[in-house]
Amino acid sequence: MGGIYIHVPFCLSRCIYCDFYSTTFDVEWKSQYVSSLMREMASRRGELSGACAHTLYIGGGTPSQLPPEMLLQIFQGVKENFSLADGAEVTIEVNPDDVTPAWLDALQDTPVNRISVGVQSLNDDILRFLHRRHDARGALDAIDLLQSRGYQNISIDLIYGLPGQSFEMWQKDLRQVLSLQVAHLSSYSLQYEEGTRLMSMLKSGQVCEADEELSLAMYEYLMDAAASAGMHHYEISNFCQPGMHSRHNSSYWHQLPYLGLGPGAHSYDGKRLRRWNSSDLKAYVQAAQDVPHEEETLSDDELYDEFIMTRLRTCEGVPLGELSQVRRDYCLRMAQPHLESGKMEQKDNCLRLTRSGIFVSDDLMSDLMC
């Protein structure tokens, strides 16, 4: 099983919290990007070893900022260079502002069957503060339009722990989002990333981080509200209706191979090799042959650490049977205090976070790593 990720590095404007690689370059760059992407697909078509891709994820950046003809060109390139399995999950990330009837008409000619909508908040003051392009009405209209066009597999992204966001505001956002009965919800607490405008505002004292107790209360409410809406909490920050988990993101958490195309995209061969394309659109379009990239071969210790970090995020937990005897003994020894304190549990030969452990998941992961 393999997945393909395509990074579309364009945004119309920058949101103040975002450190994903994207540029606000104009349309001329978009066509050069698509040509280079075609070249990269052709040169790396052998990397999935002839296996069918079970997932295709077009992320960014803002893929919905690509004109429909360029999107169609990308899907044509995928078709010519790779084979998608029957029933493959094909996701595209969209900004609510870009979801228009005309754009959806174009999407009908593609294999897209899952839409991830960057809503982030349904509070207009917060959306303006974050420099999002849409307002709450725009986000709700986009979901409504997608649903009226028959898209069942819709995912919404939300952020909590935002400056100026009260618990009541978060409750209101969540209630509204859950009432939309979408298949999937990804919800992250706000991170202050180096190099972002938000981080500069934090450093200069213009904003302050949300109180830890408030963030925890928001997360707790998220877990309860999602459960009441029938959603399954299958990864620390991800919830879904039964059977509607993101198959693409789940493959990252289960060390399955994926091929990342486009500037800044990461790839993994499912064994030891990681590769990442340089986050530089100009270098990407100017590369005559091989796309500028770096790679690393993971050591046994690094492989073990990644296994712990990713598996412990999931509801299945760390499958102890997949570890060597030595690693298993180490892992269980490190986990012992947390098993005793009730922050972890061992069930069906798997080590999992409990509800109290999930609040301190970063600490628990690092305790189990070597």
Cα 302 to chain centroid distance, Å, stands at: 22
Q: Are residues 4 and 78 in contact, defined by beta-carbon separation less than 8 angstroms?
A: yes
Kindly tell me which of 62 and 110 has the beta carbon lying closer to ligand SF4: 62
Interface with ligand SF4 includes 249 (CB under 6 A)? no
d(CA 96, CA 13): 14
Interface with ligand SF4 includes 20 (CB under 6 A)? yes
59 to each of 15, 21, 273, 351, how far by Cα in Å? 16, 11, 22, 32
Interface with ligand SF4 includes 143 (CB under 6 A)? no
Q: What are phi and psi of 255, to 5 degrees?
A: 55, 35
Q: Would you give the DSSP letter of residue 109?
A: T
Kindly tell me which of 238 and 314 has the beta carbon lying closer to ligand SF4: 238
- Site residue total, ligand SF4 (CB under 6 A): 11
Least Å from the CB of residue 31 to ligand SF4 = 20
d(CA 20, CA 181): 28
DSSP 279-348: S-HHHHHH-SSSPPEEEEE--HHHHHHHHHHHHTTBSS-EEGGGS-HHHHHHHHHHHHHHHHHTSEEEET
Segment near ligand SF4 (CB under 6 A), from 9-17, 142-150, 207-215, 262-270?
A: 9-17
Interface with ligand SF4 includes 22 (CB under 6 A)? yes
Segment near ligand SF4 (CB under 6 A), from 8-16, 142-150, 176-184, 216-224?
A: 8-16
Q: What are phi and psi of 53, to 5 degrees?
A: -85, 130
Interface with ligand SF4 includes 244 (CB under 6 A)? no
Segment near ligand SF4 (CB under 6 A), from 14-22, 41-49, 163-171, 343-351?
A: 14-22
Interface with ligand SF4 includes 218 (CB under 6 A)? no
Interface with ligand SF4 includes 34 (CB under 6 A)? no
Least Å from the CB of residue 133 to ligand SF4 = 7
Interface with ligand SF4 includes 18 (CB under 6 A)? yes
Kindly tell me which of 161 and 257 has the beta carbon lying closer to ligand SF4: 161
Amino acid identity of residue 45, one-letter, is: R
* Nearest by Cα to 131 from 175, 97, 103: 97
Write a three-state SS string for 156-202.
EEEEECCCCCCHHHHHHHHHHHHHCCCCEEEEEECCCCCCCHHHHHH
Kindly tell me which of 20 and 221 has the beta carbon lying closer to ligand SF4: 20
| Residues between 51 and 70 with contacts to ligand SF4, criterion CB under 6 A | 60-62
Least Å from the CB of residue 61 to ligand SF4 = 5
Both tokens of 159, joined, read 């952020």
Least Å from the CB of residue 291 to ligand SF4 = 20
Interface with ligand SF4 includes 14 (CB under 6 A)? yes
Least Å from the CB of residue 117 to ligand SF4 = 11
Among 4, 6, 8, 11, binds ligand SF4 (CB under 6 A): 11
Give the N- to C-terminal CA distance of the chain in Å, as an integer: 29
Kindly tell me which of 116 and 314 has the beta carbon lying closer to ligand SF4: 116
Least Å from the CB of residue 6 to ligand SF4 = 14
Count of Cβ atoms closer than 10 Å to residue 67 Cβ: 14
Question: In this chain, which residue has its C-beta nearest to ligand SF4?
Answer: 18
Least Å from the CB of residue 16 to ligand SF4 = 9
* Nearest by Cα to 356 from 341, 340, 343: 343
Q: Would you give the DSSP letter of residue 46?
A: G
Least Å from the CB of residue 264 to ligand SF4 = 11
Q: What are phi and psi of 204, to 5 degrees?
A: -90, 5
Among 36, 55, 91, 95, binds ligand SF4 (CB under 6 A): 95
Give the interface with ligand SF4 as residue ranges (CB under 6 A). 11, 14-15, 18, 20, 22, 60-62, 95, 118
